[in-house]
Structure 1
Amino acid sequence: MKRSGKTNPRLVNLIRMLKSASHENEASIWREIARRLDTSSSNYAEVNIGKINRYAQAGEIILVPGKVLGSGILDQSVRVAALHFSDSAREKIVQAEGDCMTIEELVSANPAGSRVRILR
């Protein structure tokens, strides 16, 4: 019998934590991210650094429910939270004096989800 549902334990725990944080803090942003991560992985966002540079202002927090890729140039300091980062994307964010973090770290640092921009 074919198994249905997510099999990655980190992802299962993350979705459960996001739903719990949404309920506890009355922050609908975490419920929306949990819904996006609960879909097929082929629907996950793949955002390039160039898109982050285009849509974010300096000092802003960007949330990518998927993977951040290294194509493009980043010339401002932003905090980026994502499920995964490519090595080149992580390097470019750090070079621009930004910060790379996991979604779990963002939820614990900002439980209300205020001032977070979602990119897909």
Structure 2
Amino acid sequence: MSKKTLMKIGRKTNPRIADLVADLKDGSRDNDVLIWRDVAKKLERPAQNYAQVNLSKISRYAKENETVLIPGKVLGAGAINKAVTVAALNFSITAKQKITDLGGKCVTIEQILEENPKGSGIRILQ
């Protein structure tokens, strides 16, 4: 099938996203955790509708040493003044550098799902 045909019928063409959505749905079913079902719904949307969050927004809403999940990409605009763990699909180079320079961590959504299957203490920003 062509890429255009796949898009019309609503299937994800990126196998990483399709696998991640399946894992998130399994995680929500296995552990009765609604946060993973919510993230899966956000990632089932078209890629153009994924969240794009600047560091300034993370800095504004996150607390020190908190885990923040972005169902999309983290961008490097703005300043961050707290050490936080950020889980996202993608990071810009400057965002990753700014987060790690302050002692924070950048992880993928797959990693945070594996580390924290119950989803406790995670804040979703979009």
What TM-score do you get using the length of structure 1 for normalisation?
A: 0.98
For 1:117, the equivalent position in structure 2 comes to: 123
Give how far 1:16 is off.
Answer: 0.3
Kindly report which structure 2 residues correspond to 1:25-40, keeping only aligned pairs within 5 A, or say none. 25-40=31-46
Q: Which residue of 56, 59, 62 maps to 2:62? A: 56
Pick from 11, 14, 21: which aligns with 1:15? 21
Long gaps (5+) in structure 1? none
Q: CA RMSD in A?
A: 0.8
Q: How far is 1:60 from its partner? A: 0.3
CA distance in 1, matches of 2:102, 2:78: 12
Deviation at 1:42, TM superposition (A): 1.3
- Confirm whether residue 6 of structure 1 aligns to residue 12 of structure 2: yes
Q: What is the aligned partner in structure 2 of residue 42 from structure 1?
A: 48
Q: Secondary structure of 2:68's partner?
A: strand
Q: Which runs of 5+ in 2 are unaligned?
A: none
Secondary structure of 1:18's counterpart equals: helix
| Amino acid paired to 1:100 | C
Aligned to 1:70: 76
C-alpha distance in 1, partners of 2:31/2:111?
16
Aligned-partner SS, 1:71: coil
Determine the C-alpha separation between the residues in 1 that align with 2:114 and 2:30.
12
Whether 1:90 aligns to 2:114 is: no
